[in-house]
Amino acid sequence: MLVRAQVLVCGGTGCLSSKSDKIKEAFVENIKALGLDNEIQVIQTGCFGLCERGPIVIVYPDQTFYSHVSVDDVPKICSEHLLKGRIYEPKAYKEATEDELAKIKSFGEVGFYNKQLRIALRNCGMINPFDINEAIGRNAYQALGKCLTEYTPEQVIDIMKKSGLRGRGGGGFPTGLKWELCAKNQADQKYVICNADEGDPGAFMDRSVLEGDPHSVIEAMAIAGYAIGASMGYVYIRAEYPVAVERLRFAINQAREYGLLGEDIFGSGFNFDIDVRLGAGAFVCGEETALIASIEGERGMPRNKPPFPAQKGLWGKPTIINNVETLANVPVIILNGWEWFSSIGTEKSKGTKVFALGGKIKNTGLVEIPMGTTLREVIYDIGGGCPNGKAFKAVQTGGPSGGCLTAKHLDTPIDYDNLVALGSMMGSGGMIVMDENNCMVDVARFFLDFTVDESCGKCTPCREGTKRMLEILKKITEGKGTLEDLDKLESLAHMIKDSSLCGLGQSAPNPVLSTLANFKDEYIAHVVDKKCPAGVCKALLTFVVTDACIGCGKCKRNCPADAISGEIKGKHHIDPAKCIKCGSCVKGCPKGAIVVE
């Protein structure tokens, strides 16, 4: 159907939680009521990336960008923009500049995207993930056809090796080399696995690709299967991603109906099909051998390597495992050529990387940048810096497996080797920003608490060692730590890092080691001065009523522990022995007369 305009409504999980599905329905109803249903098409897409501004609606072909849209805004957008051709200014995206709020009236002008290069995310927010024809209109399955009709499996592998694509799931192993190792192992059956078990706190890159562009991953898995000689693939995805699971399964069925999966694809004699396996949300199943064990119906626990999965993987057969983002790059490399892809990024880290930018940052969302972009560009130029005028303090890259980097690292080009050299890692792409109000000791405790809970318990260093580290960190945050504890903490961290069986245990100490290296003064303040400089660790806080108290009694009435005494119009006092440090007195004081020391 030829239309004069399209209304694209974000259908990513974040926007769906803000009722974007209702917004889509409202557009359909209002457009019909205005008699424009033959002229204007409404499409629900995947994530646009700028999650902080959701729900987002973009009107094409003029690319008008509307943010924070609600159901109540829809009639006005329809009557003003779609009927009368005038932009509805109250919801047109506004971006803060130094001098004024500049109105951004075009998707292409939104500053959040200026330094991005969308390769893995190329179709997210651009197509209807339930319509294979829209994916094909954006070149889906052309790369698969090219491989099956023009290239031998060896040539496909050579293209991937020359491209320099490295795994986007953590370790950064060269993708082409992994495929080559598997292809060389002869077997009656081989497997391709897509690792969509995205478990890092704050990470949602893979989920967004599967929600917005599932066909890119399906096509890439078929290409990988052709390259290594596999006829079966599995997508291992956590059950907590119901939207991604639904769209992925729908896309797989569509691909089968179109003859793009199954037998004799493109009349080439190549057979390949895909099935979906749901994970129960175990973080350790992001490790490839634990993932394999889970698919096989066993408890998700890592296995000793060698043999590597490329030699002996799923059900003992040669297997390659790539994560969603890695696979999303494959079709574009085939179509545009390895020279094009390898021209992007740095010498040892080619292409782009998707990050889930979150925490104390103005523009939370998905960011895809060329490798070599600096942390400063991501945090300030794209992310907009910390909100409310707060000072930037640190950024955690790589999730629980990564480390905290500071202001002195802001001009570091982002790539695999640079982050590892600084005591962090790329990981799957979580990037959590912290400001002056974050306690770095508490941050380390938070991430370690997560890895302790997610440890499978198979090896002693991880099972026992991380618990001992967590005990020490809790002791420090409760004001009971000593300088000797800091030495024990660092010694334990190195021991666990060197002796754990899999990547979970080997990387679990990274947040502790990086905060010890970059914020040692905060640790010393906790154990020597018994103070938390950021005012986060409750056991180390003291609530004091200042002379600004007017004796209104509101704090006394709000206190759940009956820890505040005083007469009306007289200065009140807080009993430290009774105070449970809930902060209700601070929040309720009309004069700001209660401070935390």
> Where residue 83 sits, what CATH number does that domain have?
3.40.30.10
Does residue 116 lie within any of the structural domains?
Answer: no
Higher pLDDT, 96 or 37: 37
Structural domain contains residue 484: yes
How far CA 472 is from CA of 82, 137, 155, 486, in Å, comes to 61, 57, 54, 8
210 part of a folded domain: yes
| 291 and 240, same domain (yes or no) | yes
In a domain, 125, yes or no: no
Domain check: are 463 and 418 in the same one? Answer: no
Q: How confident is the model at residue 171 (pLDDT cuts 50, 70, 90)?
A: confident
| Separation CA 304–CA 203 (nearest Å) | 27
Same-domain pairing of 181 and 265: yes
- Give me the number of domains the chain comprises: 5
Predicted local distance difference test score (pLDDT) of residue 176: 97
Asked whether the CA dihedral 125, 131, 132, 133 is positive or negative, the reply is negative
User: Does 406 share its domain with 444?
Assistant: no
At 371, the amino acid letter reads: M
Q: What percent of the chain has pLDDT over 90?
A: 83
**Measured in Å, how far apart are the chain's first and last C-alpha atoms?**
66
Q: Could you tell me the two tokens for 97?
A: 């500049």
Please check whether residues 179 and 292 belong to one and the same domain: yes
- C-alpha 444/C-alpha 431 separation (Å) is 15
Sole residue written with tokens 């059956």: 189
pTM of whole model > 0.85? Answer: yes
Are both 415 and 446 inside the same structural domain?
Answer: no
Same domain, 159 and 303: yes
User: Tens digits of per-residue pLDDT, 422-474?
Assistant: 888 888 888 999 999 999 999 999 999 999 999 999 999 999 999 999 999 99
* Residue whose token pair is 């080399």: 177
Binned at pLDDT 50, 70 and 90, residue 100 comes out as: very low
Which helix or strand (DSSP H or E) is residue 216 part of?
A: helix 214-228
Whether residue 514 is contained in a domain is answered as yes
What are the angstrom distances between the C-alpha of 221 and each of 96, 216, 524? 42, 9, 51
- At 2, is the pLDDT very low, low, confident or very high (cuts 50, 70, 90)? confident
Same domain, 255 and 359: no
Give the per-residue pLDDT at 264.
96
Q: Could you tell me if 430 and 484 lie in one domain?
A: no
Q: Supply the pLDDT for residue 414.
A: 93
CATH code at 169?
Answer: 3.40.50.11540
Over 80: is that where the pLDDT of 1 sits? no
Cα 71 to Cα 74: distance, rounded to the nearest angstrom: 6
Asked if residue 199 belongs to a domain, the reply is: yes
